[in-house]
């Protein structure tokens, strides 16, 4: 009988990469950046790096981790049908029970952190964690409702971050939140198109693309992306000022979104959907960097 193989640092790193894929941790990073932008705009300066600041980041990060872990747990069969063989639960590199436990633990930490901040933040955490669970169980199967909820999760970090430090968020943050909502809705409609086959067979879903078709859904998504572009100027017409660095990243974000919007109008191959979701996330991150740099006067 061969002795058990010693676990190496490379094995540990590979396992951590699988958990990163499971929870799509790049989304958590973007949520944290959104919260930081809101805090800097609210305070008018870089916040003190203290317990309150760390708790403010912990709430959205843990909520995101919990939501994505639960999503993959609930969608194991859907992902198999859709051919998403790189998903850790489909590959078997992470066990379903581990994903479920991670989800429960993450939601709990998010709520505890919110409770330690203030009452409004705690209520936001309760509301969004509850709806994240409801989304994974049922909302995502309904036409547009699931997409609308996910879109709000890309908007609320800007309002959430302000409420950590004030009970009256600056008006510009509501405009930025609207941008997040529009971009989030566009991306989620594309995701619904990407998941049509598995959603229909495994979950018996009635998502927007299943109801109105792939082409009309992609057209709506493209129009939302196009609407997003001119609206990116609004925050800079209010409280923020464009400088070289912030202007550069804003330009990259808008040009990228424009290209992706046009791509959606004319391309219909299955690979289109993953390309749009991947690169739109990068474009939105550039947009976030622009806002962060502008809020810092850069």
Domain boundaries, the chain: 17-295
Per-residue confidence (pLDDT) for residue 160, from 0 to 100: 95
Please identify which residue in the block is written with the tokens 């094995």: 11
Per-residue confidence (pLDDT) for residue 253, from 0 to 100: 95
Residue-wise pLDDT tens digits, 45-64: 888 999 999 999 999 999 99
Phi/psi at 264 (5° precision): -65, -35
Per-residue confidence (pLDDT) for residue 274, from 0 to 100: 78
d(CA 36, CA 157): 9
Beta-strand ranges (E) seen in 14-132 are: none
DSSP summary character for residue 297: T
Rg of the chain over CA atoms, in angstroms?
20
Residue-wise pLDDT tens digits, 107-125: 999 999 999 999 999 999 9
**Domain 17-295 in CATH: superfamily?**
UbiA prenyltransferase (1.10.357.140)
Q: Are residues 69 and 2 in contact, defined by beta-carbon separation less than 8 angstroms?
A: no
Per-residue confidence (pLDDT) for residue 86, from 0 to 100: 85
Q: Are residues 172 and 213 in contact, defined by beta-carbon separation less than 8 angstroms?
A: no
Per-residue confidence (pLDDT) for residue 31, from 0 to 100: 92
Structure-block tokens of residue 34: 């959104």
Mean pLDDT per 10-residue interval, the chain, length 298 residues: 63 84 92 92 90 96 95 88 85 92 97 96 95 88 84 93 93 92 92 80 79 89 94 86 90 95 80 81 91 86
d(CA 108, CA 99): 14
């Amino acid at each position: 009988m061969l002795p058990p193989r010693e676990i190496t640092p490379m094995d540990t790193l590979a396992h951590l990469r699988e958990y990163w894929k499971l929870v799509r941790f790049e989304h958590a990073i973007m949520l944290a950046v959104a919260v930081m932008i809101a805090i800097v705009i609210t305070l008018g300066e870089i916040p003190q790096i203290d317990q309150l600041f760390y708790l403010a980041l912990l709430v959205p990060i843990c909520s995101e981790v919990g939501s994505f872990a639960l999503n993959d747990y609930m969608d194991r069969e859907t992902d198999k049908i859709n051919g998403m063989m790189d998903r850790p639960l489909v590959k078997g590199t992470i066990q379903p029970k581990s994903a479920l436990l991670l989800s429960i633990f993450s939601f709990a930490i998010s709520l505890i952190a919110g409770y330690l901040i203030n009452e409004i933040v705690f209520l936001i955490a309760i509301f969004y964690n509850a709806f994240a669970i409801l989304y994974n169980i049922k909302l995502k199967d309904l036409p547009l409702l699931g997409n609308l909820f996910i879109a709000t999760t890309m908007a609320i970090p800007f309002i959430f971050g302000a409420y950590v430090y004030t009970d009256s968020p600056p008006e510009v943050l509501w405009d930025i939140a609207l941008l997040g909502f529009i971009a989030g809705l566009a991306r989620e409609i594309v995701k619904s198109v990407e998941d049509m086959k598995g959603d229909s067979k495994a979950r018996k879903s009635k998502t927007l693309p299943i109801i109105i078709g792939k082409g009309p859904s992609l057209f709506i998504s493209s129009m939302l992306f196009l609407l997003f572009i001119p609206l990116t100027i609004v925050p800079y017409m209010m409280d923020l000022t464009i400088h070289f660095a912030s202007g550069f990243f804003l330009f990259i974000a808008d040009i990228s979104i424009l290209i992706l919007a046009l791509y959606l109008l004319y391309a219909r191959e299955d690979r289109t959907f993953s390309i749009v979701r991947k690169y739109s996330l990068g474009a939105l991150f550039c947009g976030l960097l622009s806002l962060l740099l502008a809020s810092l006067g850069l």
